[in-house]
Structure 1
Amino acid sequence: MSTLTVGTRLLTDRRRTLAWWSLGVIGLVLFTVSLYPSLKDQASLNDLVADLPETVRAMIGHQAEVPLNSPAGFLQARLFATMLPILLLVLGIGAGARAIGGAEEEGTLEPLLANPVTRRRVAAERYLAAVVQVAAVVIVFAAALTVLGPLFGALDGIAAAHVAGACAAAFGLALTHTTLAFAIGAATGGRGPAVAGAAATAVLGYLTQNLLTGGPFRSLSPWSWYLDGNMLANGPNATALWAPFPVTAVLFTTGLVLFLRRDLR
């Protein structure tokens, strides 16, 4: 097989699905930024949010020093703290679980391995293809926001570097759970356990970040790294940008080793 044949074949098979995801993300951005002109003068929103419990404010990434009717506060609450990570997690967990576990369940993995290609290469390239799918949607989202946001004043006062950093942090959050789904699928040979395990971890991490006010468990949650401050107003914290990658490396290596040791017959 030629270089990256395994991965490019998977991406080719998923091209239509990826196109629909991209169109959906563009639609989401357009719908969201088009709402901003009608809300930017509503200072009462800040008083309303200030009266909400702290856990609720944390769920939408609200900070007192960043007004909700400002571009940074609005986009953080409407997109970066809510819809964007949820969509990326759905996409990433599904893609990661499908890479090995889904293929094995469908019976397409064994015929693939019957070719002159190693297990290691199959696992690495199919995992890379899953990561590329998530990265592609993040790039489409960033491009759509960069183009459409200024048309409605939704990016006024927000540095381009902050937008790029926030999108990179969202990718890091999704990458962690994508790799976890891949590792579980590679270890178990099933898509169901991979989706369930990664989704449960995402939900638990989200609840931990919002319900616990401190302690080691909260600081270990990727959600805590991601939601620590308004990234659009202040830029993403360094932990949100670098911490997902060593975690991802450990998860990928673990999944690969377990996959190589399994008897697939």
Structure 2
Amino acid sequence: MRRTRLANLIAHELETLIQEGVWVPGAYLPPERVLADRFKVSRVSIREALRLLEARGVIEIHPSSGARVRSSTTAVGHLLASRLEGLSLTDLFEFRYIVEPEAAALAAKRADKDVLDRLAEILTEQEASLQDVHGFLALDLEFHRLIAVASGNGVLQEMVSALNAGLRETRLRAIKATFDPIRSLEGHRRVLKAILSGDADGARQAMRQHLKEVEASALGAGVPRGGDEGWEGHG
């Protein structure tokens, strides 16, 4: 738990530096060892912080070249991010039902081996994080973002990244109230199984079922269907 809190603090500091222009879009962050020396922490904590930023859509991590600041988001991404807080639970789930099942279906057709391997790793890491709300949520965000990446559609990637960035804190509040990691993990496993099988229809249906479970969890946390409070579900 302490390491997760530390990773969150480091991620916040790095994101602030990016916003201040220390690293511009397209620039590579220093290597992990350099960042570890700079923050006086272990490389493991730096690695976790970078994964948090990747899940939020702030950076891209390339195994061969390192972490790079993402280019400015498209107009679609900017518009979506600016409107998230005003959307109702019903609006957001209708949007997710349209976007994420289709992203999963495309991923079943297009995903490359590197992304598939990372998705499988995420499920293993989630299984080891069942008692860690913050860590589990970070991996949850990364799972959904990578499915959008695997779809090969840039607009879908922007939409899911904007959802991750805009809803992280409200998702965290609800996940603490209705934390059911086993059910969420099983939903992710069904989605990935269909993607690995190249079953587009199965991936679409698995994601829809997962989102239904997420919606039920959000409602169980007492999140209102409408109004200005936005969505506080997780998944």
Asked if TM exceeds 0.5, the reply is no
Shorter-chain TM-score tier: 0.3 to 0.5
Greater helix proportion:
1
TM value normalised by structure 2: 0.36
Could you tell me the TM-score, scaled by structure 1's length?
0.33
